[in-house]
Amino acid sequence: MLNYKNLAIKLRAYSLPVFCVSTALMVTQSLKNPVFPTPLFFASIVISTWFGGTVPGLIAVTLAALALDYYFIPPLHSLTLNKPEMPYLFEFAVPALITCWFMRKRRITESTLRQARDELETKVRERQEELARVTRAMTVGELGVSVAHEVNQPLMAVVLNGDACLRWLAANPPNLKEAREAVTRVVEQGNRAGEIVGRIRALSKKTAPQRLPVNLNEAIEESLALVERELSKNRILLKTELAQNLAFVSGDRVQLQQVILNLVMNGIEAVSANGNSPRELTVRTESPGTGDVTVTVEDSGTGLPPGDPEQMFAAFFTTKPQGLGMGLAISRTIVETHGGRLWATDSGRGAVFHFRLPSS
């Protein structure tokens, strides 16, 4: 089957110069004794070489030379080589061969450049994904105390319920109903601890992006669970306004949680740097009626820096003494990769970050 396919491709390539030269011949003959009959034949050679390759280009040169000799160089309808105007034919053939060679070289060069561009884009995407993973790991590291607190809660519940189960079993007679309920709570809290550890591992480890239906409300709640300690430590009131029956979006859950975490952490830092009250952070989801889903993170911090808000999304732009300036740039890349848009506005009492994604 593969041989037949290759044969069909070659036949199409070799039929191209025949078609092009035939077309050039018919059009040139229809002009009734043109002064210069060669331009369309040059065009047929260019087309044959560009789309067919070297061999079809040489075939086009040969066919064009024969057509000129037979139809346009006296005596007409003869292919003899002792015609008085034979130098005219050689003056056509030499530039035609040079044109064929030049088009072949140009095609090879463009193909090489296209391949190099594709390889460069692939490497850039790989580096962006690696940088995003490192940023996630740094975020998790910054939230180390909050993560430890979040994991410690279900583990403490496991210990307390396990101790209660032992007491119910040691009673005389044993209270099996209460013991069974205690064991059920142990299993639930153990699963909760496992889920927390799984989320942290997913944020930290290197995994290939996956496009699956994502409930943004759940992704936000899981992300906010990791920053409870930071909110409490900085005395920030968290408000969540999550729309009911929010449509799912298609995307990578871990990457979208990274965007949410970046925006929330930026909001916490902005509010902490602002000594004025109130100290509030609002996370909101909504469907504006266009089939999209919008997430908004609004803080009561210092607001946007002076100048164009778009500069905040440039790589290495930061207003923090220890900042890398990559969080918002990576977040915008992730959102745009998901077919969405990320932008910032100033509410007059702080900064507001929005990102919108198409629903799945």
239 pLDDT band, cuts 50/70/90, is very high
Q: Which CATH superfamily is domain 207-358 in?
A: Histidine kinase-like ATPase, C-terminal domain (3.30.565.10)
The tens digit of pLDDT for each residue in 172-186 reads 888 888 888 888 888
The CATH number assigned to the domain with range 143-206 reads: 1.10.287
Say what the pLDDT of residue 147 is.
61
- Residue 177: CB atoms within 10 A of its CB come to 9
Average pLDDT, the chain: 80
CA distances from 231 to 56, 162, 234, 260 (A): 71, 31, 5, 15
Distance CA 328, CA 85 (A): 72
Say what the pLDDT of residue 217 is.
93
Residue ranges of E strands in 248-314? 249-251, 280-286, 292-299
Please state, for a pLDDT cut of 90, what percent of the chain lies above it: 12
Q: What is the bridge-based pairing of β-strands 292-299 and 280-286?
A: antiparallel
Answer yes or no: is pLDDT of 155 > 70: yes
Pick the range with the lowest mean pLDDT from 3-12, 96-105, 117-126. 3-12
Q: What's the predicted TM-score (pTM) here?
A: 0.53
Say what the pLDDT of residue 158 is.
81
Say what the pLDDT of residue 215 is.
92
Tell me the domain boundaries of the chain: 2-112, 143-206, 207-358
Say what the pLDDT of residue 261 is.
85
Mean predicted confidence (pLDDT) in 160-182:
85
